Amino acid sequence: MSTLYWKNITTDNVWNNASNWFTDAGATTPVVNVPWVTGDAIDLTYDLAYATGETGTITIDAEIIEGVEGSCTAVCQNISNVQSGTFTCDVFINNSGNIIGGTFTGTGFANSGVIDGGTFTGDDLYNDGDISGGTFSGAGLDNAGNIYGTSLSGTAKFTGDVTNYGSIFGGLFAGYVTNTEGASIYNGIFVGGGYNTLGIIYGGIWTGGFSGTANYLFWWLSGRLEINGEIYTANPLIEPTGYLFYLNTDNCQLTADKILLGNSVTEFGTTVNGSIDITADNPPTSTMDVG
C-alpha cells in the first residue's frame, strides 16, 4: 500500500483538511482528497503516518467510513465517527466521538465517548464514557464509566481483567473482574471470577465464582442472579419489595448453592453467622445455617 503523510501545516490539528496531507514524507506534494473519508476506493487503501518532524495529535473531525484497508500510526483523538481502519499508535483518545468499528492495537487507549463496536487488542485501556459493543482482548481495562449490553450477555466482550469503578449493565467477561468501593454490577456473564470490595452486585451470571471483603450484595424484584447454572430471582408473592441482602462480612464466597460467610451477614436487619443457602428450591431468604 502507498502511504500518505500528515503535517499540521494549517495549525488546526485536524484530519479533515487536505492541506495537512501529503504524498511524501517531506510534506512537499499535497494530496487531492482527505484519506479515509470519501467513497473513493483508492483513498481507503492508503496507510497513514507522520511527515518528517511531525509529532502532533490528529483530531479526527470527519467520519472515517466503512471499508478502510489501511493503517494509521499517528496519535489521534476522535470527535466524530470511526467505522473502520487500523490504528496502531500507543495513544488513541475517543474524546466525544463514536467508535463503530476498526482495530486499535496500541497501549493506553482512552474512551470518554461511545464505543459501539471495534476490536481492541492493546493493554491498559481506560473508559469513563459508554461501552456497548466491541471485543477487548488486551490485558487490563479500568472502567470508570458504563458498560452496557443489548442482552444479558451484551455485545461487548472482554478477555482481559477488568477493574470496575463505575457501572456494568451487561457484557461477557472472560477475565477476572474486580468491583471496587462505590461501583455497581447489574448484569453480565462473568466466567473468569470476581472480587468485590464495598461495591454492589445486583445480579449476573457468575460461572467463575465470586469472593470479596466487606461485600454489599442485593437482589431486587427485577434482578436475576445465576451461579453455576442455578437462577435466583425474587418472588413477589413472598416479599413484594424483593429480596434484599446486605452483606457485611470478611471473605464472603459465592458458590453454586450458598453464600459462605467468613464473619457475619445482616439480612432484613437480622445478623447471622455461617452461611445462607441459595438453592433453586429455596430462595435466598428461605434457609439460613447459623451453626
13 within domain boundaries = no
Dist. CA 244–CA 70, nearest whole Å: 53
- Which pLDDT score is estimated for 195? 84
Question: For the chain, how many structural domains are there in total?
Answer: 1
Residue 235 pLDDT greater than 60, yes or no: no
274 within domain boundaries = yes
Residue type for position 224: R
Residue 270 pLDDT greater than 50, yes or no: no
Tell which wins on pLDDT, 216 or 49: 49
Tell which wins on pLDDT, 127 or 271: 127
- 63-98 pLDDT, tens digit per residue, is 999 999 999 999 999 999 999 999 999 889 999 999
- Which pLDDT score is estimated for 259? 53
- Which pLDDT score is estimated for 198? 73
**Residue written as grid cell 470496575:** 164
- Which pLDDT score is estimated for 241? 37
280 within domain boundaries = yes
Residue 158's domain spans which residues? 123-289
271 within domain boundaries = yes
Contacts 24+ apart (CB under 8 A), 212-217: 212/179, 212/251, 212/252, 213/250, 213/251, 213/252, 214/248, 214/249, 214/250, 215/247, 215/248, 215/249, 215/252, 216/246, 216/247, 216/248, 217/245, 217/246, 217/247, 217/252, 217/254, 217/259
Q: pLDDT averaged over the chain?
A: 78
- Which pLDDT score is estimated for 31? 96
245 within domain boundaries = yes
Three cell numbers written together for 162: 477488568
Read off the pLDDT of each residue in 271-275 and give the average, rounded to a whole number: 50
73 within domain boundaries = no
Say what the pTM is: 0.79
Three cell numbers written together for 246: 446486605
50 within domain boundaries = no
Question: Residue 205: pLDDT band by 50, 70, 90 thresholds?
Answer: confident
20 within domain boundaries = no
Q: Are the C-beta atoms of 223 and 204 separated by less than 8 Å?
A: no
